[in-house]
Amino acid sequence: MDRGLTTSGAARAGESGFIERFASPSRRIHWTLGVLYVLLLLSGLTNFWPEAKAVQAADVRVFAWLHVVLGWAFVAGLAAVLGPLLAPTEGGRALRGDLRALTRAGVDDYLWLQHLALRAMRAPSTPPRVGKFNAGQKLNALASLTLSLGLAASGAVLGVNYMTKSVFEVGFVEGVFPWHTALALIAIPPLLAHLYLALLHPGTREALRGMALGRVRRDWAREHHPAWVEEVERAEGRAD
């Protein structure tokens, strides 16, 4: 059975000092699309490195071929998200909950960004009570979604053209290519920031446990996402 953010699941997590953060559909989607996205960026960027671009096997440019294969897997992965997203299961509900939390903006998000700006200027400031995701994460989600859809759409045109020249006019493909390149280059800074926060920054590294195993330390969650923990604990109270 899926272990989503259910009242009973959360209560079990509470007993061990951990709290359930991501149900398995959210984690599966994140890792499948996330790893493909990173590999696509790396294989695509080999186009700017003449030695790598020239690598051939049986008359085929290896990295361009790999990029197109990964690209179609990414397009299929994006389409496959609809399955768990519409599923009437506990995991599907948890996934829809994550999406709602990522796409809802309020005054606290504005206050969080203001807090970030004040802290950057070394001015005193107290953060608002953050829910499941802070405004930075919501902006990252918006950027990831826009860039993924843009890269998948432009990439699909290039991918079809890679396989056959008889579908799209040369002029159209030549018009799409710079958009694909620009989106890929725009994707680099937010991705590097995301990787830094997830893998290196001591204050936020605990989140990696949540995306890998589903649960995070309750004391960490209380410090970084107090309003969310309160919401889960209210649900736990109902479960007791």
Of the candidate residues 40, 130, 173, 176, the single one contacting ligand HEM (CB under 6 A) = 40
User: Segment contacting ligand HEM (CB under 6 A): 10-18, 60-68, 88-96, 118-126?
Assistant: 60-68
Contact 83, 105 (CB under 8 A): no
Candidate list 2, 14, 24, 34; residue touching ligand HEM; CB under 6 A: 34
Q: Does 198 bind ligand HEM (CB under 6 A)?
A: yes
212: number of Cβ within 10 Å: 11
Task: Compute the distance between CA of residue 173 and CA of residue 176 in angstroms, rounded to an integer.
Answer: 5
CA dist 180 and 4 (Å) reads: 36
Choices 10-18, 113-121, 122-130, 183-191 (CB under 6 A): range interacting with ligand HEM:
183-191
Spell out the SS3 assignment of 194-224: HHHHHHHCCCCCCHHHHHHHCEEEHHHHHHH
Considering the rule CB under 6 A, would residue 159 count as an interface residue with ligand HEM?
A: yes
Candidates 18, 37, 112, 228; binder of ligand HEM (CB under 6 A) is 37
Structure tokens at 195: 């990787």
Q: Confirm if 36 and 77 have CB atoms less than 8 A apart.
A: yes
11-30: which residues touch ligand HEM (CB under 6 A)?
21, 30
- Cα 188–Cα 215–Cα 240 angle in degrees, nearest 5: 145
Of 35 and 239, nearer to ligand HEM (C-beta) is 35
Q: Given candidates 71, 77, 84, 128, which one binds ligand HEM under the rule CB under 6 A?
A: 71
Is residue 228 within the footprint of ligand HEM (CB under 6 A)? no
**Does the protein bind ligand HEM through residue 156 (CB under 6 A)?**
yes
For ligand HEM, the binding residue among 12, 24, 62, 162 (CB under 6 A) is: 162
Q: How far is the CB of 10 from ligand HEM (least distance, A)?
A: 15
Judged by beta carbon, residue 47 or residue 89, the one nearer ligand HEM is 47
Q: Helices 24-45 and 90-103 sit at what angle, rounded to 10 degrees?
A: 60
| Cβ-proximal residues to 108 (8 Å cutoff; 6+ apart), any chain | 128, 129, 130, 131, 135, 227
How far, in Å, CA of 208 to CA of 217, rounded? Answer: 11
**By the 8 A CB rule, do 130 and 228 touch?**
yes
Residues that bind ligand HEM (CB under 6 A): 21, 30, 34-35, 37-38, 40-41, 44-45, 47, 64, 67-68, 71-72, 74-75, 133, 137, 140-141, 144, 151-152, 155-156, 158-159, 162, 180-181, 184, 187, 191, 194-195, 198-199, 207-208, 210-211
